[in-house]
Amino acid sequence: MAFHTQVRNVDPASISFQGDSLVISNPESKSHLVQAAEILKTSADPVAFPTETVYGLGGSALNTEAVKNIYKSKNRPADNPLILHVSSVDQLKRKLLPNTDIPPVYLPLIKKFWPGPLTILLPVPGNTEISPATTVGQPTFAVRLPAHPVARALIALSDLPLAAPSANTSTRPSPTLARHVYKDLQGKIPLILDGGPCDVGVESTVVDGLSNPPVLLRPGGVSAEDIMKYGGEAWRNLVIAKGEIKDNEVAKTPGMKYKHYSPTAMVVLFKNCGADLVPVENYLKGYIENNKSATGSKIALLASLNFDPDQSKKILAPYNVDVFDLGNSAKEMSRNLFAELRRLDEEDYSLILVEGVDETNDGLAVMNRLTKASSHVIDGSTK
């Protein structure tokens, strides 16, 4: 179906929650939120909205047609389950867990990190209304309570748990601005709520506390260290899954490069190099030698903690590299990462070199996304 995609502003500062009750002081923001909630309640069309992590593409998790339309608009493989989003713990219990309790293992994490970028797996109760298209027939469902006022207000107004993956076309970098969503999904969805830039910039952390020991399935906005610190006894043994949950697309087509979070440009990740630019220079020599026909193609370096921007500009000048700053902490890198990959794509760069960061605290999620976006990883510690 073709849509004339509307982009509507909602001011997050005009939204407040008094207890679980919602107040929206700006009339224009309120009418846009009401419009979005009406679409979700009365049709099966998906609506894009900001969360504190990335923009999401939402539809009622209780409506199979709505969930199928999400997969269709973003071209997502139908065997990758979606995260459900609720506006309060009360709504979670009322709509999704009518006769069951939240497993106690999660209570300290919920207390500490909700609302926020933490997703937990819960057992799908018997007689559930959750559409099997959301869970892909798994015995568990993933759920989070987002901290972004616009996301929470939309879910509260519609009183629907929303299934919502990131609002990008599958394989593209996740969207952290309404403009990114528009670029990917224009004509495919009726409405995008614009609440400004996302603060976290990478997706939520996904944890499974139902298995023993508990597993971190996807690193994200809450660090593994903080989960171990605040989760209580059981979480001290947290195991970090190797890579993300199996991507069935890859399993079905072995040998194909695992593509995720990818701009059109080729991305090369440099890790454990310290301030040493020699590995970058060596890579560029080879690249230029092998791509003589591509003279004039644009090359960017995203420098972070150790590569000095001025020094890099000087040393890499012979290779015609434009140097940009990705941020001075892993948190800043998370916030800027997807937006920078998209910007360099729009500016027609064909090669993006990125300086990595230690895989501790917020660095783990950054390196997970960067590794997936990269065609090559060059490790300065294995020379």
Judged by the rule CB under 5 A, the positions of this chain that interact with Mg ion are 166
- Minimum separation from the CB atom of position 181 to Mg ion (A): 12
Nearer to ligand TXA, 298 or 331 (CB): 331
> Which parts of 152-171 interact with ligand TXA (CB under 6 A)?
164-166
Q: Label residue 68 exposed, middle or buried (CB < 10 Å: 0-12, 13-18, 19+).
A: middle
Strand locations in the chain (E): 6-9, 15-18, 21-24, 47-49, 56-60, 83-85, 118-123, 140-144, 162-163, 191-194, 205-208, 215-218, 239-240, 266-271, 298-303, 321-325, 349-355, 376-379
> Which parts of 209-268 interact with ligand TXA (CB under 6 A)?
217-218, 244-245
Name the closest residue to Mg ion (Cβ): 166
Nearer to ligand TXA, 181 or 284 (CB): 181
C-beta atoms surrounding 261 within 10 Å: 23
Nearer to ligand TXA, 142 or 378 (CB): 142
Contact stretch for ligand TXA (CB under 6 A) within 187-195, 201-209, 295-303, 358-366: 201-209
Nearer to ligand TXA, 100 or 306 (CB): 100
Enter the tokens of residue 135. Answer: 């869970």
Tell me the DSSP string of 204-231. Answer: -EEEE-SSSS-EEEE--SS-HHHHHHHS
* Partner interacting with residue 50 (select from ligand TXA, Mg ion, none; CB below 5-8 Å by kind): none
- Minimum separation from the CB atom of position 82 to ligand TXA (A): 5
- Terminal Cα-to-Cα distance of the chain (whole angstroms): 53
Q: Contact at 8 Å (CB) between 54 and 175? A: yes
204 binds ligand TXA (CB under 6 A): yes
Site string for ligand TXA, 12-51 (x = CB under 6 A): ---------------------------------------x
- Minimum separation from the CB atom of position 61 to ligand TXA (A): 11
For ligand TXA, the binding residue among 83, 109, 177, 300 (CB under 6 A) is 83
Taking CA atoms, 168 is separated from 222, 287, 342, in Å, by: 22, 30, 11
Q: Contact at 8 Å (CB) between 205 and 227? A: yes
Contact stretch for ligand TXA (CB under 6 A) within 6-14, 76-84, 285-293, 342-350: 76-84
Q: Contact at 8 Å (CB) between 154 and 37? A: yes
Q: Total number of residues binding ligand TXA (CB under 6 A)?
A: 27
- Minimum separation from the CB atom of position 174 to Mg ion (A): 5
Q: Contact at 8 Å (CB) between 23 and 13? A: no
Note the residues at the interface with ligand TXA (CB under 6 A). 51, 53-54, 56, 80-83, 117, 119, 121, 135, 138, 140-142, 146, 164-166, 203-204, 206, 217-218, 244-245
